[in-house]
Amino acid sequence: MNRLTPEQLAAGVQDLPSLPAVVMELLSSIEQEDIDISVLAKKVSYDQALTAKTLRLANSSTYGLQVKVTTIQQAITFLGFQTTRNLITAAAITGCFPSGRCAGFHDKGFWRHSIATAACARALARRMRFNQDIAFTAGLLHDIGRLVLVTGHPDAYTQVVAWHAQHGGDWQDAEQAILGIDHVDAGVALADHWNFSSTMRQAIAYHHAPDVHGAGFLAAIVHVANAIVHALDLAGEDDELVPRVSSVAWDAMVLNEEAYLHLFRETELQFGEMSTILMA
Amino acid sequence: MSGPFHLTPLAEIRPGMVLSDVVRDGKGNVLLAHGVVLTESMLASLARHGIDMLPIVQAEPAPPPLDPVAVQGRLDHIFRKHDRDDLGDWATGILRRYVEDYRLQREVSQ
């Protein structure tokens, strides 16, 4: 039996690699405007790998800067604090989980899907006049619970992968069948442990169920972005599968076909560039 | 400047194409940065600035010709849980149609 109790899940979360302290600070303050930017910029600069990755992202064509930024402080000046914070977070999170721990789990495919969903959620949010930076981070983190399960319980997750290969369908079904919990539970546990803002927590909790009362608009954005990225086949998985799209979430986007075709193109372009930087 | 580019007349440029270099007006002021994804309104504004050619990023080696049967087959596989006759699942149906139009480069009537 591989059933995970809530206590085991919590213990798995405790054992996760920790993010640099400054990134934890950024994640928990994502909706705060009044934090001391210069102190944060300085703290990030102490981490050279993180700084280098963040600056490469800032200089990517996604942000269309006319000058190359060479310091975190400069990035904040040109891109704004919100966007820079967002890039630092992305650079830190994509590098913090060990890969190759669980047979049959494709770390690369996981990150390709997450980065593409982040790019798509950001592009959708812009059209919805929703905060693009929050949408990007929510897209990047929506399935993070899968990594929690894979990292904390690699052997049990190997069985989830086997069940999924045999039965097909959604990962949630496979996880529930083997573990008794799924990646949404694990994602929420991580959100609590890492002190994510409540908006971010809601988006992780309801990205498969955006119709639930109180799920929030961000969950709807992430839900639609997730489906689009599956449909665009960007993760490079043979068994790629588009989940059922919530009509409530789709309706909330009020975009016409032309807008969606532009969105697809933008998602593909930005995904190409960002995945090269983040998965280097 | 980055990668292969093609100096393209403004009239042939469509929204979504990507600038391969910075664009300046006659006085040397930067109008658009390199790497910008062009939009309808940017193109209109460039026309007003009297610009008639732009350096456009060329798709890396021309993509292999589209094989509609293979593309449709892959899409049907990805959407294998979706039933075209299930009208209750219309949202997935619309996404499917849009992605088919996109991948098969069908003309989209507005």
Record: contact B108-A258, CB cut-off 8 A? yes
Burial A15-42 (b: 16+ CB within 10 A, else e): ebeebbebbbbbbeebeeeeeeeeebbe
Q: Is A252 on the interface with B (CB under 8 A)?
A: no
Record: contact A262-B102, CB cut-off 8 A? no
Q: How far is A212 from chain B (nearest CA, A)?
A: 17
Confidence category of residue A30, pLDDT binned at 50, 70, 90:
low
**The pair of three-digit structure tokens given for residue B2, joined into one six-digit string:** 């980055």
Question: What residue of A is the nearest CA neighbor of B101?
Answer: A261
ipTM: 0.89
Whether the CB-CB separation of A168 and A241 falls below 8 Å is answered with: yes
Q: Please, what CATH class does the domain formed by A11-278 belong to? A: mainly alpha
Q: Does B10 have pLDDT greater than 80?
A: yes
Q: Are strands B53-57 and B5-9 parallel, antiparallel or unpaired?
A: antiparallel
Q: Is A78 on the interface with B (CB under 8 A)?
A: no
pTM of the model: 0.81
Predicted pLDDT at A12: 80
pLDDT digits (tens, 9 = 90+) for A117-172: 999 999 999 999 999 999 999 999 999 999 999 998 999 999 999 999 999 888 99
**The pair of three-digit structure tokens given for residue A6, joined into one six-digit string:** 């809530």
Q: Within a 10 A sphere around the Cβ of A95, how many other Cβ atoms?
A: 16
List the domain boundaries for chain A.
11-278
**The pair of three-digit structure tokens given for residue A27, joined into one six-digit string:** 């994640």
Whether the CB-CB separation of A177 and A163 falls below 8 Å is answered with: yes
Interface with A, mutate which of B25, B29, B81 (most A CBs under 10 A): B81
Chain A (53-72) residues lying within 8 Å, Cβ to Cβ, of chain B: 60-61, 64-66
List the domain boundaries for chain B.
5-57, 68-103
- Helix, strand and coil content of chain A, in percent to the nearest 5, comes to 70, 0, 30
- CATH H superfamily, domain B5-57: Molybdopterin biosynthesis moea protein, domain 2 (3.90.105.10)
Confidence category of residue B1, pLDDT binned at 50, 70, 90:
very low
Predicted pLDDT at A145: 94
Residues of B in contact with A249 (CB under 8 A): 91
In three-state secondary structure terms, A71 is coil
pLDDT digits (tens, 9 = 90+) for A173-212: 999 999 999 999 999 999 988 888 889 999 999 999 999 9
Q: Is B76 on the interface with A (CB under 8 A)?
A: no
